[in-house]
Amino acid sequence: DDGKQLSNHFTLSAPPAGSQWPHGLGSAQVRQEVALLRPLAVPYRLLLGPGPSNLSPRVRAAGSQQIVGHMHPEVLQVMEEIKAGIQYAFQTRNRITLAVSGTGHCAMEAALINLLESSDTVLVGNNGIWGERAADVARRLGAKVHELLKPPGEYFTLRDIQEVCATCGAPGLSPTQVLTVLFSPRAWHSTNPQWGCGAELWSPSRHGCLLLVDAVASLGGVPILMDQQGIDVLYTGSQKVLSAPPGISPISFSERAREKMQRRKTRPPSFYLDMSCLASYWGCDGEPRMYHHTGPVSSIFCLREALAGLAELGLESSWKQHQAVCTRLCQGLQDLGLELFVKEEAARLPTVTTVRVPEGYNWKEITAFLMDKHSIEISGGLGPTAGKVLRIGLMGHNATQDNVDRLLQALRDALQHCQHSRL
Amino acid sequence: DDGKQLSNHFTLSAPPAGSQWPHGLGSAQVRQEVALLRPLAVPYRLLLGPGPSNLSPRVRAAGSQQIVGHMHPEVLQVMEEIKAGIQYAFQTRNRITLAVSGTGHCAMEAALINLLESSDTVLVGNNGIWGERAADVARRLGAKVHELLKPPGEYFTLRDIQEVCATCGAPGLSPTQVLTVLFSPRAWHSTNPQWGCGAELWSPSRHGCLLLVDAVASLGGVPILMDQQGIDVLYTGSQKVLSAPPGISPISFSERAREKMQRRKTRPPSFYLDMSCLASYWGCDGEPRMYHHTGPVSSIFCLREALAGLAELGLESSWKQHQAVCTRLCQGLQDLGLELFVKEEAARLPTVTTVRVPEGYNWKEITAFLMDKHSIEISGGLGPTAGKVLRIGLMGHNATQDNVDRLLQALRDALQHCQHSRL
């Protein structure tokens, strides 16, 4: 009985008269769903979770533009501007600087899939779900994975890295097989302050490995200087500080990373994310551009406007702004009697603040109350912190003092209405 | 000398006063590019190439919507509507029906990466660039690839398939290792008329293999009935008949394809495209949804509106409309003395018409003239047909008789102004 396998979407009925299909096939069996024939209705929400952020007005305008062909000179010019915008935002002069046609996770995969071969060893700094993801992807690629584990809220020190590098460089492994993947912590949102001067204190090149940094939740909100910090691969998302829709992700590869990719003995198991093809399509290799895939034109327009907004504001102003609203938020949260998850002040990421769920409260009730009564989104934890924390993002267009005050007032309201065991 | 490695984007100058960066790092070296600080300017073009098509007004409106969180109930509801919309457009009741967060090529990769393991044998119908792509991806995955080669403009017959299947089923290969990949021809735009009733004349299941069909350029413009035709994997793009921006791609897997994926001994080399994760994220497996990646919310809204538009119009009306404008176009092209590339009328794809570059003309001059003087895009050939043909797409929102007449008039103008050797 076919009917049993159906989801409940369909209104099944006899085929309409005159609906004989060509080639001797039967008639249409699957009908239009009623809900799809209603108008699209999107409610307004203030998005103060860990992302996506609300779109800025200029990004919304770009999203409503009529598109042109993805290889038109006007789109190629916009792609050039995006490359320059990423180079500015990343503070890099890397030639291979472009945007992959996917989300932040896709950019992570693009990095690993191009850098790793099955013979390679990779060290993954795992202090949260994104480290787990990177280790998962590296294992799928057949690489030998070493994990540097840290509890949520903690970060990696130079000593940690040095110790594990020594282990990885053990018999049978040449140093160049070691690739250090270090994540700017996304899920727990503590920065790795000692890594701010990584290039001076610890040099990946001296250790014969590459340094990969995930800056999805941090780029534009906290100082990251790719070239000066000796970062070999850096990527970010569009939907955090950049305040653009998710779906297109900036990425950049150093000269050393490019050389490692050129030395590959096998091709990456993806054509979509093959960086040699993408570099050609984005005009990064000085050769005529080769068609690769149909660029997501609307997303390209939106990303251009987001990068232009950051360039107009200036990186340093953006960092200051994020630090200021984060400081105001942390003070307000503590005034409400809440406990910040990351103990060390210098280790807190200004873009996303993680706070413990207060005793006697259910995190889901708090987030639901904020949504229902105040149209504000904040999030619970993810992976190992699920159920334990609330995550509050103030990024890009949303990083304003007004939003801090609005959120604190809503949280005060929630704490009054949602308490359970305290009753 | 660092300066030599720079692209010419940057204005280098002394760091501005007060720009000392934290953590003892140096100052900003990479400055904002001037072009990025100018307003975004997008010219209007009538996109009558093989895609993307112009966006429909309701899709543009969706693209300008403010976004909400990708796991909000409202977005999950929209995702349910998208699943139903794809099931209607594909004429399928497959549970695993969703949209991948990437372009049409990404959907092709999602299909192959989930279905193939390195021990598998795949037969690729290669009559153009998309067959070449599929063979390339399958080889990257370590599969054994058989190619069924046909010249551009020709299509595969049942006899072709049967002959090669017999070869693939040779000693050492069990029939279940054979996966038939058959492309609805995209690059040459001839349909495979005998395949319209593939399920009746030739059954993939009887041959122990799966049938994969690429419908990027055809879905919505030509009858495709996934379940009735016995297609195991079907995917399409958003930017052709659906008239939405590229970057999100509908895909569906039959029960037999699902079983093949469940029997995998190795995990797919991608987490981003792992169908078991995606099926969970899209709520296709009857279990609670698991977070997988940050859904491209704006693209999701646009795709919903595109599928709603197709549902409102009705599939059969859409097919009739595409056939009518194609007939009018073909007549007009022949009246201009041009020769259609696909000889057999029944084999012509109604969505994209391929016409030979007339003798004495340079195709680039014709397309440039149409663009410069008439703001109309049409395209040259791709891969093996490069330089030989022009490709004209009339899809979705653009499939109107007015557009046919406008194009024919512009082409007449171009033929008068661009001829060379005839002078």
The pLDDT, as a whole number, for residue A155 is 72
Mean pLDDT of B111-119: 92
A272 or B1, which is more confident: A272
The model's pLDDT over B71-90, given as tens digits with 9 standing for 90+, comes to: 899 999 999 999 999 999 99
- Min Cα distance B207 → chain A (Å) is 21
Contact B32 A245 (CB under 8 A): no
- Min Cα distance A305 → chain B (Å) is 7
The model's pLDDT over B295-345, given as tens digits with 9 standing for 90+, comes to: 999 999 999 999 999 999 999 999 999 999 999 999 999 999 999 998 878
Token pair belonging to B216: 């990027």
The pLDDT, as a whole number, for residue B312 is 96
Q: Looking at mean pLDDT, say which of A36-40, A127-131, B193-197 comes out highest.
A: A36-40
A225 or B109, which is more confident: B109
Q: Which of B206-210, B280-284, B292-296, B396-400 has the lowest mean pLDDT?
A: B206-210
Q: Which residue of B has its CA nearest to A75?
A: B42
Q: Looking at mean pLDDT, say which of A316-330, A375-389, B145-159 comes out highest.
A: A316-330
A33 or B304, which is more confident: B304
Q: Which of B34, B66, B231 has the highest number of chain A CBs within 10 A, making it the mutation to test binding with A?
A: B66
The pLDDT, as a whole number, for residue A62 is 97
Q: In degrees rounded to 5, what are phi and psi of residue B123? A: -105, 120
- Min Cα distance A341 → chain B (Å) is 23
Cβ-based contacts of A295 with chain B (< 8 Å): 103, 246
Q: In degrees rounded to 5, what are phi and psi of residue A143? A: -75, 160
The pLDDT, as a whole number, for residue B160 is 73
Token pair belonging to A258: 């490019």
User: SS3 of B161, please?
Assistant: helix
The pLDDT, as a whole number, for residue B190 is 38
The model's pLDDT over A389-409, given as tens digits with 9 standing for 90+, comes to: 999 999 999 999 999 999 999
A170 or A268, which is more confident: A268
Q: Which of A9-18, A98-107, B399-408 has the lowest mean pLDDT?
A: A9-18
Q: Tokens 């290669």 identify what position?
A: B126
Token pair belonging to A238: 């569009």
Is residue B391 marked as binding? yes
Q: Which residue of A has its CA nearest to B312?
A: A37
Axis-axis angle for helices A255-262, A104-115 (nearest 10):
60
Q: How far is CA B173 from CA A339, B120, B125, B141, B182, in A?
A: 62, 9, 19, 18, 20
Contact A84 B36 (CB under 8 A): yes
Q: Which residue of B has its CA nearest to A22?
A: B223
Q: Which of A23, A113, A248 has the highest number of chain B CBs within 10 A, making it the mutation to test binding with B?
A: A23
The pLDDT, as a whole number, for residue A179 is 66
| Nearest-CB residue to A66 (from B42, B65, B312) | B42
Cβ-based contacts of B223 with chain A (< 8 Å): 21-23, 25
Start-to-end Cα distance in chain B: 53
The pLDDT, as a whole number, for residue A261 is 94
Q: In one letter, which amino acid is A152? A: P
The model's pLDDT over B225-267, given as tens digits with 9 standing for 90+, comes to: 888 878 899 999 999 999 999 999 999 999 999 999 999 999 9
With a threshold of 0.85, tell me whether the complex ipTM lies above it: yes
The pLDDT, as a whole number, for residue B213 is 87
Cβ-based contacts of A314 with chain B (< 8 Å): 32
pLDDT class of A331 with cuts at 50, 70, 90: very high
- Min Cα distance A352 → chain B (Å) is 15
Cβ-based contacts of B54 with chain A (< 8 Å): 66-67
Mean pLDDT of B372-393: 92
The pLDDT, as a whole number, for residue A174 is 53
| Nearest-CB residue to A44 (from B61, B66, B267) | B66
pLDDT class of B421 with cuts at 50, 70, 90: low
pLDDT class of A191 with cuts at 50, 70, 90: very low
User: SS3 of A232, please?
Assistant: coil
Contact B26 A109 (CB under 8 A): no
The pLDDT, as a whole number, for residue B167 is 66
Say if CB B338 and CB B331 are below 8 A apart: no
Integer Cα distance of B195 and B213 in angstroms: 11
Cβ-based contacts of A19 with chain B (< 8 Å): 316
pLDDT class of B38 with cuts at 50, 70, 90: very high
Q: Which of A1-15, A371-385, B72-86 has the lowest mean pLDDT?
A: A1-15
* Listed residue (B82, B98, B68, B43) closest to B302, CA to CA: B82
Mean pLDDT of B89-95: 96
Strand-by-strand arrangement of the B96-100 sheet: B96-100, B249-253, B233-235, B211-214, B178-183, B121-126, B144-149
User: Is the pLDDT score of A11 beyond 70?
Assistant: no
The pLDDT, as a whole number, for residue B417 is 94
The pLDDT, as a whole number, for residue B12 is 27
User: Is the pLDDT score of A244 beyond 50?
Assistant: yes
User: Is the pLDDT score of B172 beyond 70?
Assistant: no
Cβ-based contacts of B80 with chain A (< 8 Å): 9, 35
**DSSP label at B206?**
T
The pLDDT, as a whole number, for residue A123 is 85
Mean pLDDT of A170-188: 51
- Min Cα distance A35 → chain B (Å) is 7
Mean pLDDT (chain A) is 84
pLDDT class of B219 with cuts at 50, 70, 90: very high
Percent of chain B exceeding pLDDT 90 equals: 62
Contact B113 A270 (CB under 8 A): yes
How much is the pTM?
0.91
- Min Cα distance A320 → chain B (Å) is 11
Q: Which of A85-89, A378-382, B367-371 has the lowest mean pLDDT?
A: A378-382
Contact B83 A136 (CB under 8 A): no
Mean pLDDT of A244-257: 96
Integer Cα distance of B209 and B279 in angstroms: 22
The pLDDT, as a whole number, for residue A211 is 84
Say if CB A273 and CB A110 are below 8 A apart: yes
pLDDT class of A319 with cuts at 50, 70, 90: very high
Q: Which of B40, B47, B258 has the highest number of chain A CBs within 10 A, making it the mutation to test binding with A?
A: B40
* Listed residue (A184, A294, A314) closest to A236, CA to CA: A184
Q: Looking at mean pLDDT, say which of A194-203, A348-357, B211-220, B397-406 comes out highest.
A: B397-406
- Min Cα distance B32 → chain A (Å) is 6
Contact B271 A93 (CB under 8 A): no
Q: How far is CA B119 from CA A62, B43, B84, B189, in A?
A: 46, 50, 35, 32
Integer Cα distance of B87 and B313 in angstroms: 16
User: Is the pLDDT score of B211 beyond 90?
Assistant: no
Mean pLDDT of B178-201: 45
Q: Are β-strands B389-393 and B352-356 bridged in parallel, bridged antiparallel, or unpaired?
A: antiparallel
The pLDDT, as a whole number, for residue B343 is 82
The pLDDT, as a whole number, for residue A178 is 63
The pLDDT, as a whole number, for residue B175 is 53
B180 or A286, which is more confident: A286
Cβ-based contacts of B237 with chain A (< 8 Å): 294
Contact B68 A30 (CB under 8 A): no
Contact B69 A316 (CB under 8 A): no
Mean pLDDT (chain B) is 84
The pLDDT, as a whole number, for residue A313 is 96
